[in-house]
Structure 1
Amino acid sequence: MFTRIANARHVLLAVALSATAGVAVPVTTASAAPVPQAASSNCPMQMLTSPSWTQRADVVDSDPTGRYQVGHAYDATYTTHLLRWTNGVPQDLGTAHTGASGVNTQGDVVGTITTGDDPAGTGWRYHGGEFSPLPGLTAQAESYPSAINADGAVAGVSSLGSITVPVVWSTDGSVRRLALLPGDTSGWANDIDDDGTLVGFSSGASGEHAVRWLPDGTVERLQEVNPAHSSTAVAIRNGSVLGQDIPGIGVTSSLLWRAGATDPEQLSNGTPQAVNARGAVVELTVPDAKLWLTEPDGTVRSLPTDTTPYATGGVTALTDDGVAYGHWNSTPVSWDCRPPVSAP
C-alpha cells in the first residue's frame, strides 16, 4: 500500500486541518533534509506488458512479493479497464470496477467506484473472482479504501459531506471507525501493515499530523521533526513508517520512522514514494524531479526517467526484494533495484 501515493496510495488526500493543543509531543530539532549523493548504480527500467488495445495505462500498487500488480488500461475510446498482473501477465477485470488503490499477496484488490461527474465514491473489494462492496459508516456515507494487507483487512476513509474519518474494514466487509487525536475532527488511514497496524493522519484546528493506529485501535501521534509543521504518514511495511513533513511555507521532505524507533529520520526534500520490509525507501526529490532508492546501509540507487525539469516518473510500490513499480509518462513500468547477488 504509498504509497502506495499513491499511494496515491495516497499523499495529501485531504486538506490539512489538524491536531489540537494539549497533545504532548516531544520536539526533535529540525534540520535541512540531506541531498542524495551520487548513486552507486542505476535500477534498470522495464515496461509492463499491457493488452494490445491499450492507449495508455498505469500501475497503482504491487503486493510485497511482486507476484501481483494492479492498475488500469485505457482503450481506443478511453474507457477505463481494471487490470491485474499475475507474474507479469495482465488480466482485464472489466470496466465496472475501477479506481483501484491496492492489492495483496492473495491477489485481492480494493478500489473506489465514481460515476460520471459525481465525485461520490463507493468502495469495493475483489476476492475469489467476485466483487463486493465496502460500505461507509452509514448508508449515505461514501467509502474510499486505500490499501489491503495479506489477511484482507482494508484501510481507508468514510466520508459524509465535508467530514472524513479513518476506518478499517474486516475481512467480512464490516467497517469500524478509527479514533482521532483528542479534539480532532477528521483524518485518513493510508496504509495497513500485515499485523493490522494502520498509518495516516488526524486533523483539526491546528493542522494535520501523522498517526499510527495499533491493531487494538489505539491512536498514537508520531513524533515530528517540527511539531509546528503538518505531517502525514503514507505507508507502513514491517513496522517502518514512511511519511512527509509539510511546512506551511517551503519545501516538503520525506520522513522515515524505522521499526522500533521513536524519532523520525528526515530524508530528502520532495515526496515519499514507497517503503519495503527492509526499510529501503524510494523518494521523488525536488528540485531535480528524480527518483532515488536508499537502502538502510546508505546505498543510493537511481531510478532513471526523462531528464526534464518536471517529474515524468513516479513509484507506487516497492517489493520486499527491491523491485519498484510505477509509471514513466503514461506507461506502467518496473525498476529492478534488487541488491546484486554475490558470486559464490
Structure 2
Amino acid sequence: MFRRNKIPVAAVLTGLAAGLVTLNPEPAGAVSTSVVISEIYGGGGNNGAIYNVDFIELYNRGTTTVSLDGWTVQYASATGSSWQTTALSGSLKPGRHYLVKQAGNGVGTPLPAPDATGTISLSATAGKVALSDKSRALTCSSSCTTVPGVRDFVGYGSTASSFEGSPAPAPSVAASIGRVNGVDTDTNGRDFVKAAPTPYNSSVGTPESGEACSREVISGPAGLTAKTLEAGDPSGRYQAGRAVDSADVEHLVLWTDGVAEDLGVPALGANSFPSDVNGHGEIVGNVFMDGNWRGWRRRGGQFTPVTLPASALTADAVAINGNGEMAGTSFRAAYAQDGRATVWSTDNSARELTRPAGFNDARALDIDDDGTVIGTVSLLDYDTATTLDQRAVAWFPDGTWRFLNGIRPTDQTEAKAIRNGRVVGTTASGGILAWNAVSGDVTQLSPEGRPVEVNSTGSVTTTNLELILPSGVRRPLPIFDPVHGGASRVLTDANIVYGKASYYDEDLQATVAPLLRWNCGS
C-alpha cells in the first residue's frame, strides 16, 4: 500500500500494542480484498479542529475497479443501533481513495474536493462506521460485522459495542484514525492508529503501471568519456553535461540533435557544471571561483558570470527559459546563507524577488517561459542546520507572489519545476504534488517519491525512476542493476527522458555509469 509515509512508526507501534489487548473479541467478517474504510475523522468544525468537517475515507486495496453505485457508508454511536447513511456513487480504481464529506461547524481547513457528501456528525472519541453494498440502514448494536452486505466495519473508542477483533483507538478533535499501509487483518485495534488527519480523494493513489520505456546509451564527444548529462531544453534538441579527457580534466559538452560537441574547459574555471539549457542552445551553470559558487551564462560561445545584486556576495544560476531569462539565488551572507530568489534578464541585469515575512531564505528553482518563477522559502536555524518552516512559492512577472500549499495545512512544501503554468513539488515527508501556479490548486500525484521534472503535457519524472503520465499511468525507466541504481535528469515535451545508471562491468572489473536516453513517447 502506497501510504507508507502517512503513519509515523511510533504511532504504528502504539496501534499494534493496542491491538494485542482485548477482553471481549468479536468475530469479524471476511478480510476485505477490495474497498475498505481507510480513515475516520470526527473532530471537524470543533474548537481546535484541523478540518472544518468530519470525513470518512475509503481505499481500494484490490486489483480491479469497483463500482460503488448503491453502496453506503453508515454511522452509529458507540453503543447505539440507530444508523445514519450516506449514499455513494461512481467507481473506485485500484490504489485510489474515496473521500466522503460529513457534517461540521466551520472551524478548521476545508477538505479537498469530496467524492460524496453526507450530513452525519461523527463522534471524535467513540463510534461505529460501516461500509455496506446495500442502501438500507443497519439496525444492529453488536455483531454488526456479520450482517449481510457489510463490506468493512470499524468500531473505535473503548466503548464501541461492535468492531472487528478489537476496537480501533479513539481519535480526537486534532487526530483521525487511519489504516496502516492498507492492511486489513480484520482487527480494528491492529489495523488502525491515531495520527494527524490526511484526507485523500479519488484523484490520489498509486498510478497504474504501464509498459517500461525503451532505453539506449548516449555517447560523448570523440576522445572524451561522457560523465554527466545534467540539463536539457523542453523541445529535446539540446542537452548539456560534462565529460573528462585522459588527464581527468572536465570539459563542458553540448548535444545538438543527438550529436555531442566538446565545448572545452570553461574559461571561468574547470570546476564548472551546467544546470539548464534553453531551446536556443544558451546554457546556464555554476563555477567555483573566488571562494564561492558563481552562476554563469554561455551565449554565442562566450561565458559570462551573472551580475550580483546589491549587497550580494555571490549567486547561483539554476534555470533559463526560452526567452533567455534566468533564475537562481543570490546570497548576502557567506556559506550560502540569507538567500534571495533572483531573476536575470537577457541583458544580465539582476532583480531580487520578494521574500515573504517570517522567512530568512528564498531560493528560485525554475522559470517558466512567461517569466513565472517557482522555488522555496524557508525559516532556517543556521546554528543547528535545522529547517523550522518551508513553503513552495510562485513569483509572477507583475511582482506578485503566492504560497503553494500542501494537501494538509501543516505540510511543509517545496517546488521543484514548472512548465506552462503547471508546478510539481513535494513535502517534507515526500510524495509528489502538482499545482496550478496561478490558482494555487493542488493535487497529489503520488504519496511516494519526489518529482524531478514536468513537461508541457503534464507528465512527471520521479526519483523512483518512472514517468507518470497525465492519465495516471506510471511507466518505469529501466536501469541495469537496482543495486547500483540510476537517476533521471531531463524530460522533454515528447516524453523523452535523459539520465544515467550504474552497473559493475565484469570485463573492466569496475563500476561504470553510462548516460542514457529513455524513449517513453510511444
Determine if the TM-score, normalized by the shorter chain, exceeds 0.5: yes
Aligned to 1:48: 218
The 2-side partners of 1:318 and 1:126 are apart by 21
Report matched runs for 1:156-235 at 5 Å.
Answer: 156-159=328-331, 160-161=333-334, 162-204=337-379, 206-235=388-417
Q: Is 1:60 the counterpart of 2:230 in the alignment? A: yes
Deviations 1:283-314 (A, max 9, x none): 123xxxxx11121122321111134256x221
Change (3 A) 1:216 1:120: same
Which is further off, 193-202 or 70-79?
A: 70-79
Structure with larger Rg: 2
Which is further off, 294-303 or 102-111?
A: 294-303
Aligned to 2:295: 123
**Of 136, 142, 151, which aligns to 2:308?**
136
Higher strand fraction: Structure 1 or Structure 2? 1
Q: Is 1:38 the counterpart of 2:221 in the alignment? A: no
Aligned to 2:520: 337
Contact 1:55 1:78 in 2 (8 A): no
Cα deviation, residue 218, structure 1? 1.3
The 2-side partners of 1:136 and 1:170 are apart by 13
SS in 2 for 1:82: strand
Change (3 A) 1:321 1:92: same
Which is further off, 146-155 or 120-129?
A: 120-129
Unaligned runs of at least 5 residues, structure 1: 1-23, 286-290
Unaligned runs of at least 5 residues, structure 2: 1-107, 113-196, 381-387, 503-512
Cα deviation, residue 229, structure 1? 2.9
Deviations 1:44-71 (A, max 9, x none): 1112220233334111111011000011
SS in 2 for 1:270: coil
SS in 2 for 1:70: strand
Aligned to 2:455: 276
Higher RCO (CA 8 Å, separation ≥ 6 residues): 1
Aligned to 2:494: 321
Deviations 1:163-215 (A, max 9, x none): 11110000000000000122222111000000000100111264111000011
Deviations 1:211-264 (A, max 9, x none): 0001112121012123323211110001110101113xxxx1111114666332
Contact 2:213 2:519 in 1 (8 A): yes
Deviations 1:132-162 (A, max 9, x none): 1212224761110010000000010011322
Change (3 A) 1:331 1:261: farther
The 1-side partners of 2:250 and 2:295 are apart by 17
Change (3 A) 1:27 1:172: farther
Moved over 6 A (4+): 24-27
Contact 2:238 2:279 in 1 (8 A): yes
Aligned-residue sequence identity (percent) comes to 35
Please, what is the CA RMSD of the aligned residues?
2.2
TM-score by length of 1: 0.82
Higher helix fraction: Structure 1 or Structure 2? 2
Change (3 A) 1:322 1:261: farther
Contact 1:114 1:122 in 2 (8 A): yes
Which is further off, 136-145 or 254-263?
A: 254-263
Cα deviation, residue 267, structure 1? 2.6
SS in 1 for 2:449: strand
Aligned to 1:21: none
Change (3 A) 1:185 1:259: closer
The 2-side partners of 1:324 and 1:261 are apart by 29
Report matched runs for 1:109-120 at 5 Å.
Answer: 109-115=283-289, 120=292
Aligned to 2:477: 303
Aligned to 2:243: 73
